[in-house]
Amino acid sequence: MKRTVLYNVLAGNGAGKERAESLRSRWTDGETVFLDMAKIDSYADFFASLTPEDELILTGGDGTLNRFVNDTEGLVLPEKICYYPTGSGNDFWHDLELPEGSGPQEISRYLKNLPTVTCLGKTRRFLNGVGYGIDGYCCEVGDKLRETSDKPVNYASIAIKGLLFHYKPTRATVTADGKTQVFEKAWLAPTMNGRFYGGGMMPTPRQMRLSDDPKVSVMVMHGSGKLKTLMIFPSLFKGEHVKHEKFVSVTEGREITVSFDRPTALQIDGETVPGVSEYTVKTAK
């Protein structure tokens, strides 16, 4: 039996390989091979090289998982795929609510029937959620900071400065299963498949990724000024922002379109797409 651990060297602020190799001490049986995902030219050929007895373990963060599910779209995946987090945010892992110190977990069922997001003429699948508004702005600023420094990015600091000084709210038009709402002064408008994004924020605390009736949830934080929004913002980490019903709206649906009255950055499982005016999310049929 062979065990193959796929890693992303860029995960965890460049610590992806080292963190993946920390798993070596967990196993004493069989052969364990560590493989850089960037060196896989064809996942079809890679999967064909595995035997039914082989184990496949993915490591990395939410962005790594997003890239994997899109790079393997249309392929028959191995029957059993495990995952161990080595990223910086690890929101997918957080959503699983596992005991501290848990080892690799089988995630095959979570990789099926994923929703898609379409923007700027391109459609891709996602695991956790898409962020639109100041969350996308934070990812965009964070990416620029990484280009000039190897220090960890402080997204909380970026968000606070954005709320107070740099980010301007928009008019958001949200259409969920044919019903349209317009929100003035929209600060956030993410659509979620899971509960968590952004390193532990919970914009849609009641969203379930394996529901018998698969839907996604869009949350809009709107209508408040800078200081009021700054007061509400920390409650996102416990999902308590939904108590502010005057300023927070959550809607479920199978097809959701969100448009802003000016282009802003969109983030998809942490990966930034700049200059987006509209996105559409659809659940798998």
Quick one: pLDDT at residue 258?
98
Contacts of 28 (CB under 8 A, 6+ apart): none
Quick one: pLDDT at residue 174?
98
Q: Which domains does the chain have, with CATH numbers?
A: 2-111 (3.40.50.10330), 116-282 (2.60.200.40)
Closest CA to 207 of 112, 130, 134: 130
CA gap 59, 65 in Å, rounded: 8
At 23-80, the pLDDT tens digits run: 999 888 889 999 999 999 999 999 999 998 999 999 999 999 999 999 999 999 999 9
Averaged pLDDT of the chain: 93
Whether 235 shows a pLDDT value over 90: the answer reads yes
Q: How confident is the model at residue 19 (pLDDT cuts 50, 70, 90)?
A: very high
Query: 208 burial class (0-12, 13-18, 19+ CB within 10 angstroms)?
Result: middle
Task: Read off the pLDDT of each residue in 97-120 and give the average, rounded to a whole number.
Answer: 94
At 6-16, the pLDDT tens digits run: 999 999 888 99
Which pTM value belongs to this model? 0.93
Whether 98 shows a pLDDT value over 80: the answer reads yes
Q: How confident is the model at residue 143 (pLDDT cuts 50, 70, 90)?
A: confident
Q: How confident is the model at residue 170 (pLDDT cuts 50, 70, 90)?
A: very high
Quick one: pLDDT at residue 236?
94
At 198-216, the pLDDT tens digits run: 888 999 999 999 988 899 9
Contacts of 240 (CB under 8 A, 6+ apart): none
Mapping DSSP onto H, E and C, the string for the chain reads CEEEEEECCCHHHHCHHHHHHHHHHHCCCCEEEEEEHHHCCCHHHHHHCCCCCCEEEEEECHHHHHHHHHHCCCCCCCCCEEEEECCCCCHHHHHCCCCCCCCCEECHHHHCCCCEEEECCEEEECCCEEEEEHHHHHHHHHHHHHHHCCCCCCHHHHHHHHHHHHCCCEEEEEEECCEEEEEEEEEECCEECCCCECCCECCCCCCCCCCCCCCEEEEEEECCCHHHHHHHHHHHHHCHHHHCCCCEEEEEECEEEEEEEEEEEEEECCEEEEEEEEEEEECCC
Quick one: pLDDT at residue 1?
74
Backbone angles phi, psi at 251, to 5 degrees: -135, 135
Quick one: pLDDT at residue 238?
94
